[in-house]
Structure 1
Amino acid sequence: MLYVWAAIVLLVVMYPLYFIIIASFSDPSAVGNGKVWLYPKGFTFDGYQELLKHSNIWVGYKNTILYTVIGTMIGLVVNISAAFALSRKELFGRKTITLFFIFTMFFNGGLIPTFLTIRDFHMYDTFLVMVLPFSVAVFDIIVARTFFQSSIPNDLWEAAQIDGCGHLRYYTLVVLPLSKAVISVLALWMAVGHWNSYFNALIYLQNKDLYPLQLILRDILITNSMQSAMGTGEAAQIAMRLANLLRYSVIIVSTIPIMCFYPMVQKYFNQGVMIGAVKS
């Protein structure tokens, strides 16, 4: 019964993704009429060919990869370091500092003050605005702090002190090598967040050469939808057909890279989440 139940859950989870894949290669009319179930019908590459006509899609890929890699690296340095500091009992005012961090999970300055702050720091419409201002994630800090407190024995710190280690050396040579599981989990969360991010780019970027992939794909969809709405006769039908195909093709193009990356860290995922979870 467990195997049957697991198979049903797997089917429920995987079928929507499989449907999007086969729909991106199928005739939109067949998809709209509910004729596509297990395999493509009216096989076509028109959706992908239309996407590839937009050369800026490669600019979007390059920008998104840079934002994801650099943003994830900055986020790991900032959040893991903050978590380690907050996990040390000898840190003066540790509980007060933690409360200040947690406070920001419920209240923030709002969009307009944040926009004005970013503009005053001369990061508006720059590469930095996508990787630096929003690098702190309090939830990630709490997960990593809990991991350090529950999984790194204090005896290691005492032994390191005997050997002449300071906090920085202990952090880099002892703590980080023992924290691969939680680091991998946080890296995955941050990478997915950066890859899917579009709102910050929508608000803080004007230069299209800095647009991430998600924003470029959004513009392509909007452009094709407008063309199909404004056209008449056969031209409108062709445009509508391409617009429907693009909806599925865009999802595949935007998710394939992150799906290829996920298996590399999946073995650490469950372990890291459980180790970093709050324990009673």
Structure 2
Amino acid sequence: AAIIDGANDLQIFSKIILPLSKPALAAFGLFYAVSIWNSYFTALLYLSDPAKWTVQVVLRQLVILNQGNLLDAGMQAGMDNPPPAETVGMAAILIATIPILIVYPFLQKHFAKGVMLGSVKE
């Protein structure tokens, strides 16, 4: 119908296809952003200077590499409270998830819209 009305390919894409594709693009964008945000292995391979490490590499250092030391410290102390380094690791995990938690509500409306668009029949 848009071609009959004289619309060119760019107008068809920008006025018809792109608005209908926003929910899918938002979902793909969110999944891609989360995978990039959570990737630590590429930074671990290419960055040798600890001053340039990303949040996930530092988080890995705090949580995984200190885990063996924390277990030994907890067993020696015989305490039920977690060692201070473990609480720092838990706090770092929480801080690392905050950016994704901030972005998600803005894209949530597109997910709901896409579900409703596909389910409502006229």
| Structure 1 residue 214 displacement after superposition | 0.8
CA distance in 1, matches of 2:109, 2:14: 23
**Corresponding residue number in structure 1 for 2:104:** 262
Kept after mapping to 1: 8 A contact 2:63/2:86: no
**Corresponding residue number in structure 1 for 2:33:** 191
Cα distance change, pair 196–274 in 1 and its aligned pair in 2 (3 A): farther
Instruction: Calculate the TM-score normalised by the size of structure 2.
Output: 0.65
CA distance in 2, matches of 1:210, 1:162: 55
Q: Residue 34 of structure 2: SS of its match in structure 1?
A: helix
- Counterpart of 2:54, as a letter, is P
Q: 2:56 aligns with which of 214, 231, 244?
A: 214
**Residue 98 of structure 2 corresponds to residue 253 of structure 1:** no
CA distance in 2, matches of 1:247, 1:185: 30
- 1:45-56 alignment to 2 at 5 Å? none
CA distance in 2, matches of 1:161, 1:209: 60
| Structure 1 residue 273 displacement after superposition | 6.2
Give RMSD over aligned pairs: 3.3
**Corresponding residue number in structure 2 for 1:202:** 44
Q: 2:85 aligns with which of 224, 243, 248?
A: 243
Gaps of 5+ in 1: 1-154
What is the aligned length?
A: 112
**Corresponding residue number in structure 1 for 2:3:** 160
Instruction: Calculate the TM-score normalised by the size of structure 1.
Output: 0.33
Q: Residue 191 of structure 1: SS of its match in structure 2?
A: helix
Q: Identity, % of aligned pairs?
A: 35
- Counterpart of 2:84, as a letter, is L
Q: Residue 163 of structure 1: SS of its match in structure 2?
A: coil
Q: Residue 160 of structure 1: SS of its match in structure 2?
A: coil
| Structure 1 residue 245 displacement after superposition | 1.1
Q: Residue 114 of structure 2: SS of its match in structure 1?
A: helix
- Counterpart of 2:3, as a letter, is A
- 1:81-160 alignment to 2 at 5 Å? 155=1, 159-160=2-3
Q: Flag as ranges the 4+ runs of structure 1 deviating above 4 A.
A: 222-230, 273-276
| Structure 1 residue 260 displacement after superposition | 2.0
